[in-house]
Structure 1
Amino acid sequence: MGSSPSTIPSTPAPTPAGIDQCPRRVCLQYLKSLHLNRQYFNRRYNKCYCPIHYESSGPNILTVAGSDFTVPIGWSLFAIHVDKGFATNNKIFRNWYTTFYGTSHDKLDDIIHNRFIPFPGDDLLSGKKFVVNLPDQRHIYTSPSINYASLEHVCPINKVTINNVSYDFQVVLQCKQNPTHIKKIGSNKPNICPHLPSTTIQWKTDQRASVVPISLLIRAKKSENI
């Protein structure tokens, strides 16, 4: 389901991502290749959840506003600027849930520029329509589980070669979500997340301006098949 392989020209070689090595530099190089506006990002809050930078004794689950969500272990986080007035007026960092929205690399610019997760069929500021290949076109789907949000049917693999090493990249947006009008439903993949119940792992909402991206998460894995 991923896009066709591409190659990023060699620059100072990052250490290839592996079990004992931090993938952050590879993820950063991949992020630069997407040519997103640098003004979208707030480097002050960037963080890496690889085994080197996130201790194995750390929690797998965090709780905000009374709602559990998974720690995105194995992912590199690049913080996104959020509209300060909206965030302050709605107290989103205190009162809104933390959720994840799986997407593809080619949709990132439209979503981040929009400041909210669009609905399927929305007319975007770029002049395009927002297309999501899901049967339900009337809701936004999120999850408190990074495992569920990164399933390939919503979060396809982008195979890219960096410095002669082939990687499978995925992108997920970490969001703050208004807790009202959320319907929590189950999944037909019962073992996808060991930390949260499968009966409420999939969330949907029909409320506009209710899901705000606050960071871009990138995962890099060495490709098994080149």
Structure 2
Amino acid sequence: MPRKISISAGEDYVVPRGWAGFGLQVDTTLVDYHNLWEEWIVTYHGTSTIAVESILAHRQFLLPGDTLLNGKPLGIRPGHIPGKAHLYTSPSILYASLNVYSVRYNFTDSSGKKYEAKIVFQCRQKPKTFCVQAETVGRGKDSICPFISNDKIEYYTVNRSSVVPYRLLVSLKEL
């Protein structure tokens, strides 16, 4: 299904077509709730099921080196930039859902059908709290998203409170 671009707080983002969305409670003690919806931009953060549990429990993202609920430190996953303890987001659901960010999970339902599931958080991100950079997955000039150019597709920050997850997005594809 084609995706289209939308604008939030003056910045472009890609509409997550084909994803099921589940609204999350936003902790109003962490942010100015009204400014969040009017002035913060929309971004996406692809992740794994282990990290999802921690993000939902803490109501915020962790940075590499922080401790997960299972007591283990959050590491930098293979395929990510070594030694960079940042939180990465993108205005493109296509970029955030790449396998290096959104880990694929294959499962079989009770009828025997096989599926691939992916998880991405839809977030509000405070302007001027992040840096913008080109893609870091080695795609070069091979366009990742038809709406966001490769040279402006990845954001990073060390300010974990500047990224607020408000929706859990799930993609299911039958294999």
What's the TM-score, normalizing by structure 2?
A: 0.87
Matched with 2:118 is 170
Which residue, out of 23, 38, 41, partners 1:79? 23
Q: How far 1:95 moved relative to its partner?
A: 1.0
**1:49-68 matched pairs, under 5 angstroms:** 60-68=4-12
> Equivalents in 2 of 1:210, 1:92: separation in Å?
10
Q: Once the 2 structures are TM-superposed, how far is the Cα of residue 89 of structure 1 from its aligned partner?
A: 5.1
Output the CA distance in 1 between the equivalents of 2:70 and 2:26: 19
Asked if 1:97 corresponds to 2:41, the answer is yes
Distance 2:107 2:68 in 1: 27
Could you tell me how far 1:128 is from its partner in structure 2?
A: 3.5
Q: How many residues align?
A: 167
1:173 is displaced (CA, Å) by 0.6
* 1:185 matches 2:133: yes
CA deviation string 1:32-86 (max 9, x = no partner)? xxxxxxxxxxxxxxxxxxx6xxxx7xx7111111111100011100111111233
With 113-122 and 165-174 compared, the bigger mean Cα shift is at 113-122
Judging changes above 3 Å, is the alpha-carbon distance between structure 1 residues 221 and 183 closer, same or farther for their aligned structure 2 residues? same
User: 2:15 and 2:155 mapped to 1: Cα distance?
Assistant: 18
- Answer yes or no: is 1:210 the counterpart of 2:158: no
CA shift in 2, pair 1:158/1:90, >3 Å: same
How big is the shift at 1:208? 2.9
For 1:31-50, list aligned pairs within 5 A. none
Distance 1:93 1:126, change over 3 A: farther
Residues in 2 aligned to 1:100 and 1:89: alpha-carbon distance in whole angstroms: 19
Identity score, percent: 34
* Gaps in structure 2 of 5+ consecutive residues: none
SS in 2 for 1:164: coil
Structure 1: stretches of 5+ with no match in the other structure:
1-50
Instruction: Spell out, residue by residue over 1:112-165, the C-alpha distance to the aligned partner (whole angstroms, 9 max, x if none).
Output: 111111111113455432233122432111100000001101112100111210
Partner of 2:55, secondary structure, is helix
| Counterpart position of 1:118 | 62
1:222 paired with 2:174, answer yes
Pick from 158, 165, 180 the counterpart of residue 105 of structure 2. Answer: 158
Quote the offset at 1:105 in angstroms.
Answer: 1.6
User: Greater helix percent: which structure?
Assistant: 1
Tell me which amino acid in the other structure corresponds to 1:106: I
Q: TM-score, normalised by structure 1?
A: 0.68
Aligned to 2:86, which of 136, 139, 144?
A: 139
Q: Is the 1:61–1:195 Cα contact (8 Å) retained in structure 2? A: yes
Q: Judging changes above 3 Å, is the alpha-carbon distance between structure 1 residues 221 and 89 closer, same or farther for their aligned structure 2 residues?
A: closer
